[in-house]
Amino acid sequence: MLFLQIIRTAYRGILANKMRTSLTMLGIIIGVGSIIAMLSIGEGAKMQVMESISRFGTNLLRVRPGAARLGHIRTSNVETLTIRDAETIAREVPGIRRIAPAVARSGQTKFSNKNATTMITGTTPEYIEINNFQVADGRFFDETDIKLVKRVAAIGSTVRRDLFGESPALGEEIKIQGQTFRIIAVMAEKGQSTFADPDDQIFIPISTSQRRLFYQEHINDINIQVEDASRIPAVKEGVERVLRERHRIAPDAESDFTIRDFTEMVKTWQETSRTFTVLLSGIAAVSLLVGGIGVMNIMLVSVTERTKEIGIRMAVGARRKDILSQFLIEALVITVCGGIIGIITGTSIAILLSRFGQWDTVITVWSIVLGFLFSVIVGLVFGIYPARKASLLDPIEALRYE
């Protein structure tokens, strides 16, 4: 029997029971659709992690004052970390590419009649390189500005928008905590991160922040970029040793600072998002399995109902394999049609999720191929038993069946 003819026969068999077939197909549509949607969510999460990596910068360590205690990072306002600590680390710990101490406090900014509360970061030029910030306009302050304790500022794009709207900001003077600063740079937009908006930030020389603005000797963090990932543990250890020594901490006492390893954090996220994807896809696969059982169920009913037809076909010369392929292809038509509709549905859901929901979704070609393959496999696996049953019918019994 010709392939086209089998397809036509299968098509007719399916059309004969529209309601039944569409309900069966719905199981496959939901299964394949949810697999596509879940994979796109997982893929989106992976992308987000990748983006965070590039946003944070790579091989980053951050030292903060205060001990880590059961999930709480800072226990109190510890004022132990100083620029000298950073300098000593830079001198004594090998494997560090860049190091930048920073004072970070929120402050009030004002331009003409506009007010904004934003993060004021007093630091050195290395900070922006460690943390992957780019200057969009103007120049970032340099060592001379720090030495001369200049009142200059580099503002983030969110601050620029809040204070200046569409008008130019470069060269304007703004008030920070009542003090006048000249804007010498506008930073390029970095984009929303998971924790805070890195663009809602003003950078000023660290000396200015300590002596002219916040009047504080201590610093709030030390940013360290390690030469390469393999040296992260060694550098971490070195930093710990130097700081404990400088802070005169007894060997059995807790450190009064915390070292955060961003590479490790990113790795943890990656693993979490992978687990998440596997879990969701697993649930989706189970629903596809249930859909497949539905197909098998309906095919068994169909074989019983059409016993007479099978007998007639055998009498006019159908071989067992003709009957087998007829019913197998009928099951495949159901699952593949369901699969294609499911792919379309799943893709639409993913697109809607990223447009109207909080989810970032990415649809990859391989997830579509996978969805299609699954629908074929389900058709084969759950179609073969009913089809075999049909092909093994005794022609005489089948002809006698009413």
Partner 1 sequence: MNIIGCLDRPTSGAYTLNGTRVEDMDDNGLAAVRNRNIGFVFQSFNLLARHTALENVELPLFYAGVVDARPAALEALKEVGLEKRVHHRPNELSGGERQRVAIARALVLNPPLILADEPTGNLDSRTGKEIMEMFKDLHSRGTTIVMVTHENDIAAHAQRIITIRDGKVLSPA
Q: Give contact residues for partner 1 (rule: CB under 8 A).
A: 1-2, 5, 12-13, 16, 308-309, 311-322, 395-396, 399
* Measured distance CA(304)–CA(397) in Å, rounded: 12
CB of 294 to partner 1, least distance (A): 23
Contacts of 230 (CB under 8 A, 6+ apart): none
Phi and psi (nearest 5°) for 67? -85, 150
CB-wise, 1 or 47, nearer to partner 1? 1
CB of 385 to partner 1, least distance (A): 19
Supply 250's token pair: 């007894």
CB-wise, 200 or 309, nearer to partner 1? 309
CB-wise, 251 or 317, nearer to partner 1? 317
CB of 16 to partner 1, least distance (A): 6
Which DSSP string do the residues of 96-135 spell out, in sequence order? EEEEEEEEEEEEEEEETTEEEEEEEEEE-THHHHHTT--E
CB 359 within 8 A of CB 41: yes
The angle formed by the CA atoms of residues 263, 269 and 270, to the nearest 5 degrees, is: 90
Which DSSP string do the residues of 255-268 spell out, in sequence order? PSEEEEEHHHHHHH
- Distance between first and last Cα of the chain: 26
CB of 349 to partner 1, least distance (A): 36
CB-wise, 30 or 334, nearer to partner 1? 334
CB of 321 to partner 1, least distance (A): 8
CB-wise, 213 or 314, nearer to partner 1? 314
CB of 9 to partner 1, least distance (A): 9
CA nearest to 87, candidates 191, 228, 289, 224: 224
* Measured distance CA(230)–CA(98) in Å, rounded: 16
Residue 225 has, within 13 A of its CA and on its CB side, a CA count of 15
CB of 361 to partner 1, least distance (A): 43
DSSP state at residue 254? P
CB 195 within 8 A of CB 206: no
CB-wise, 150 or 313, nearer to partner 1? 313
CB of 277 to partner 1, least distance (A): 45
CB-wise, 12 or 241, nearer to partner 1? 12
CB-wise, 335 or 391, nearer to partner 1? 391
DSSP state at residue 69? B
Contacts of 266 (CB under 8 A, 6+ apart): 49, 52, 53, 56
